[in-house]
Structure 1
Amino acid sequence: MASTETRRHGPRVFGPQEIAAAADVLRGGGLLAFPTETVYGLGADATDGRAVARIFAAKGRPAFNPLIVHVVDKAAAEAFAVFDAAADDLAMRFWPGPLTLVLPLRDDHELSPLVTAGLETVAVRVPASPLARDLLGRVGRPVAAPSANPSGRVSATRAIHVIEGLGDRIDGVLDGGACRVGLESTILRTAPLALLREGGLAAEEIEAALGHVLTRDVTPGKVQAPGQLSSHYAPGRPVRLSVTDRDPDAALLGFGLVAGDLTLSAQGDLVEAAANLFDHLHAIDRLAGAAGKTRIDVAPIPEKGLGRAINDRLRRAAAPRAPKG
């Protein structure tokens, strides 16, 4: 049976064998959600201003929040970004992979100004997912792709999360199953070198490769890279962190020895916890609603390795939310 599914109320879902048709959506100016090793991205042709504007409209994303551009290889990135020696070294070591580099724009770049939110830099990465790279190669253009979820909400790590969150606001979803890493990419600025966002590549691994400790600039006063808003990744209910005791008013997301209604990793494995984080946040939000719980509690996560990125997402999920309107 063919895997293509046409929904009355929702995007067309493409299976991996239909990747050529999925690429045509992007080439035609449409919005396509696609899997990377980190999370599902909501893609549009980064050189097409109308298509990029649809990303912001579909997500309800603030226009001052820049987007990550995904490319098939470093050569494709060099068409619009300037690589210095540090960027060359980082790309050689960690691409393809869950690392985004914030680099100066070339004067002759053809990206839509919406991609960079008016900044003189661009965030770019080469994903490790073979399906994503196959898609990008077929599109033949840079693809702007923030996470495929409504702005400020929990990121999508499965196609069903995309459909539930964005519905018929987008044109298609390339279903590649669950994302392996499960956390958005780590973001580095290279001039001067600084960590702008914790993510799926542990900062300690980068520091070991470079031979020195990174300067951290993860919550600046002015947004200079995606994922730096103080309130982000939020489920539908308030979140309380570092909880070890059960509360009858809350659903508990466990870790290690603290067992919950759902548990990120019973073995205390941070890699497993990172891969499960967003899927479990979606699931425990539904569970809390069904059980009449008013809050989500989360067990303590060690502040080391991928635990830093997990805690970064959880702190932003728990941050006070700006009023609507």
Structure 2
Amino acid sequence: MNTMVWKVDKYVDNLENNPQVVDAANFLRKNEVVALPTETVYGLGGNAESDEAVAKIYVAKGRPGDNPLIIHIAEREQLKQFAAEVPALAETLMDAFWPGPLTIIFKRKEGVLSEKATAGLATVAVRMPDHPVALALLKSCGLPIAAPSANSSGKPSPTKAEHVLDDLNGKIAGVLDGGVTGVGVESTVVDCTEMIPVILRPGGVTKEQLEAVVGEVREDAALTDEAAQPKAPGMKYRHYAPNAPLFMVSGTAGFLQRLVEEKRSEGLRVGLLTTEENVSGYDADLVLACGRRGELETVAAALYDTLRRFNQENVDIIFSEIFPNTGVGHAIMNRLQKAAGNKLISE
């Protein structure tokens, strides 16, 4: 398959009628899959009402079939098509955070969306992305679009069109290139089917931000307890992993440097993930600065690109500093834990 690339300037006017956007929308209406930029990561979009289109998403990614997809919409009115009810709690969250990096889980209507998109669950996950190109594409095609991250399943999510092509070139119809994404980690997923909202996946909207709007917010037990069964099937699997084994390290800079030296003495090529404040303090085969520790939003934005850069340099093992587990740091640590398979070395 020839994967087309449509480059679009997100700052131009009338994006909905942009020839590249219209071309990509036509592919979606033909039940092909197209990668699109959002404010979090690039998504792999397909018609959420079509079994054929959704099946192509799973095949291209190599994604397990029990892992439901997030449905992307451009207008809140579209919820009426497939949400059985929209609780007042969800309305409050949409008022505060849509468009934006917040996915809300609703009880779904039967017989509207592809069963493959919801993995047969009685619920549906929906969000409205805050990216002009994504919104223009959604409006142009006029469809609810199922869109997981546009990467091979298990690999770091894509924050650039180049990342998408690294994984999926020849496997999908096209990539709508809208430049580098902003937030860098996926949306927060919140279950609003009960009285108290539950975070199933931390992301671009923090727990603290949610609580400031709706009061008490709980977290799925599986986020902190490995023995607990995740309510979101996708949380069962290892994600975001670079090619080389990744280990999180809790300890001083001296302790981390000793770990590096030990592995280098064994003949291994060692990579180290740190931040701009600390990058000059380490000696390894590849030391990469992932944003600024004093501004965790920059760490989130750079995380997946940094993990992919280790692949390009063919390191044998990667050590990573850890980050405060609050605010957006909660999402960063969630991704690092999954990328490392929860492997933590403590001083």
* TM-score greater than 0.5 by the shorter chain: yes
Alpha-carbon shift at residue 232 of structure 1 (Å):
1.1
What is the aligned partner in structure 2 of residue 93 from structure 1? 96
Q: Distance in 1 between matches of 2:22 and 2:228?
A: 42
What is the aligned partner in structure 2 of residue 202 from structure 1? 206
After superposition, the Cα gap between the structure-2 partners of 1:14 and 1:226, relative to the gap in structure 1 and judged at 3 Å, is farther
- Give the conservation status (yes or no) of the 8 Å contact 2:73–2:144: yes
Aligned residues: 308
Q: Distance in 1 between matches of 2:340 and 2:293?
A: 24
**Superposed CA offset, 1:200-255 (max 9, x none):** 11111111112234343444855543641241111111101125323134200112
After superposition, the Cα gap between the structure-2 partners of 1:55 and 1:230, relative to the gap in structure 1 and judged at 3 Å, is closer
Q: Distance in 2 between matches of 1:90 and 1:226?
A: 23
For the pair 1:20 / 2:40, whether they are aligned, the reply is no
Normalising by the residue count of structure 2, what TM-score does the alignment of the two structures yield? 0.84
Instruction: Say what the alpha-carbon RMSD is for the aligned residues.
Output: 1.9
* Runs (5+) with no aligned partner, structure 1: 1-8
Alpha-carbon shift at residue 191 of structure 1 (Å):
2.0
Which of 237, 240, 249 is matched with 1:242 structurally? Answer: 249
Q: Distance in 2 between matches of 1:137 and 1:218?
A: 36
Q: Distance in 1 between matches of 2:230 and 2:33?
A: 24
Alpha-carbon shift at residue 256 of structure 1 (Å):
5.4
After superposition, the Cα gap between the structure-2 partners of 1:227 and 1:255, relative to the gap in structure 1 and judged at 3 Å, is farther
Alpha-carbon shift at residue 303 of structure 1 (Å):
1.2
- Give the conservation status (yes or no) of the 8 Å contact 1:195–1:217: no
What is the aligned partner in structure 2 of residue 264 from structure 1? 290
- Paired AA for residue 70 in structure 1: H
For the pair 1:314 / 2:314, whether they are aligned, the reply is no
Normalising by the residue count of structure 1, what TM-score does the alignment of the two structures yield? 0.90
Alpha-carbon shift at residue 10 of structure 1 (Å):
4.8
What pairs with 1:9-158 in structure 2 (closer than 5 Å)? Answer: 10-16=2-8, 17=18, 18-81=20-83, 82-107=85-110, 109-158=111-160
**Superposed CA offset, 1:122-181 (max 9, x none):** 010000101100100001010000000011111001000000011111010000010011
Select the structure of larger CA radius of gyration.
2
- Paired AA for residue 265 in structure 1: G
Q: Among the aligned pairs, what percent are the same residue?
A: 40
After superposition, the Cα gap between the structure-2 partners of 1:202 and 1:10, relative to the gap in structure 1 and judged at 3 Å, is farther
- Secondary structure at the counterpart of residue 78 of structure 1: helix
Alpha-carbon shift at residue 88 of structure 1 (Å):
1.2
- Paired AA for residue 325 in structure 2: E
- Give the conservation status (yes or no) of the 8 Å contact 2:86–2:106: yes
**Superposed CA offset, 1:67-121 (max 9, x none):** 00000021112210121111111111111000000110024x5110001101000
Q: Distance in 1 between matches of 2:288 and 2:204?
A: 22
Alpha-carbon shift at residue 273 of structure 1 (Å):
0.7
For the pair 1:231 / 2:235, whether they are aligned, the reply is no
More deviation, 306-315/82-91:
82-91
What is the aligned partner in structure 2 of residue 212 from structure 1? 216
- Give the conservation status (yes or no) of the 8 Å contact 1:207–1:214: no
What is the aligned partner in structure 1 of residue 12 from structure 2? none
Q: Distance in 2 between matches of 1:230 and 1:138?
A: 34
- Secondary structure at the counterpart of residue 126 of structure 2: strand
